[in-house]
Structure 1
Amino acid sequence: MMENPRGTLPEQSFYEQVGGEDTFRRLVHRFYQGVAQDPLLRPMYPEEDLGPAEERLVLFLMQYWGGPRTYSDLRGHPRLRMRHTPFAVDQAAHDAWLRHMRDAVDELELAPEHEKELWDYLTYAAAAMVNRPG
């Protein structure tokens, strides 16, 4: 374990800076409230209850941003593109996903620099999941 030089604080992860698990649970729960009502996205979630999908996304985002590695412990490498291959993710699905995520991010009321960093990642990730033209 590395020690910090005298008089300095250890650098906090983004996960810690934005409030840890509670923040990510709030984000993802709000997102899935939108998905549950969305006629384009809801059919992409075959489980009757969105709870398992919500938990997977919470665990993934917490790990990605420096929190516990529970996602990898349970599911292995994220392999996001591969996991999304069975679903037709076109521009309309991309836009709907980001619309619900935007609502969820806004409700967090993060500091502007944190909001920008999170949103930049989410827009990048959404674009990377597109696997169909249109």
Structure 2
Amino acid sequence: MTERPRTLLAAIGGIDVLRRLSNTFYEAVLADPLLAPVFADFTRTHIEHVAVWLGEVFGGETRFTDELGGHQALLRAHLGLKITEEQRLRWMELMTAAVEKELPDDELLRRRVVEYFDWGTTIAREVSADPEGTDLGDPGPTPRWGWDGLV
């Protein structure tokens, strides 16, 4: 049996694979009648920001924290979106399809990545119920996700 890379990011193949994943996912999202309204303010820079976020979460450099505002900024971006459970589940369907298309054919890797998205979208949905400008307190550092889940 071969030894797994230390981080999910290394197993995924790096930030370029996360860019492809984000691009594939958002192409589907923007064409989806249930999800497109949630992303009414979408810009192409969103794809890069998501890739950088995921790179940090999956064990890479702390670029999202250092350059884009970290965990607090990510949570604030979801305030006021009023994401429904139906939208969250559709988001998961589209992301799972993107994971299957873009990530290496490794069942455990794909499962861990999808588990992260399930965990993260649950938090995003909860935060989205609060109005814009809500004080979120200190959510702590950007979470890290590894082979055993939340690190």
Q: After TM superposition, is the score higher than 0.5? A: yes
Instruction: Tell me how far apart the structure 2 counterparts of residues 50 and 76 of structure 1 sit (CA, whole Å).
Output: 18
What SS does structure 1 have at the residue aligned with 2:71? coil
Match of 1:39 in 2: 33
* 5+ residue gaps, structure 2: 130-151
Match of 1:78 in 2: 71
Q: Deviations 1:72-94 (Å, cap 9, x if unpaired)?
A: 12222223433211211111110
Instruction: Tell me how far apart the structure 2 counterparts of residues 121 and 28 of structure 1 sit (CA, whole Å).
Output: 15
**Structure 1 stretches of 4+ moved >4 Å:** none
Superposed displacement of residue 30, structure 1 = 0.8
1:93 aligns with 2:87: yes
What SS does structure 2 have at the residue aligned with 1:63? helix
Q: Which amino acid aligns with 2:43?
A: L
Q: Deviations 1:31-79 (Å, cap 9, x if unpaired)?
A: 10111101222222233x5312211111100111111222112222223
Could you tell me the TM-score, scaled by structure 1's length? 0.80
1:65 aligns with 2:58: yes
Count of aligned positions: 122
Which stretch shifts more, 81-90 or 28-37?
81-90
1:114 aligns with 2:120: no
Instruction: Tell me how far apart the structure 1 counterparts of residues 34 and 49 of structure 2 sit (CA, whole Å).
Output: 20
Superposed displacement of residue 105, structure 1 = 0.7
1:50 aligns with 2:43: yes
* 5+ residue gaps, structure 1: 1-8
Superposed displacement of residue 103, structure 1 = 0.9
Higher Cα Rg, which structure: 1
Instruction: Tell me how far apart the structure 2 counterparts of residues 110 and 76 of structure 1 sit (CA, whole Å).
Output: 33
- Of 18, 21, 30, the match for 1:24: 18
Q: Which amino acid aligns with 1:88?
A: K
Percent pairwise identity: 23
Instruction: Tell me how far apart the structure 2 counterparts of residues 64 and 130 of structure 1 sit (CA, whole Å).
Output: 19
- Of 113, 117, 130, the match for 2:125: 130
What SS does structure 1 have at the residue aligned with 2:70? coil
Cα-Cα RMSD:
1.9
Could you tell me the TM-score, scaled by structure 2's length? 0.72
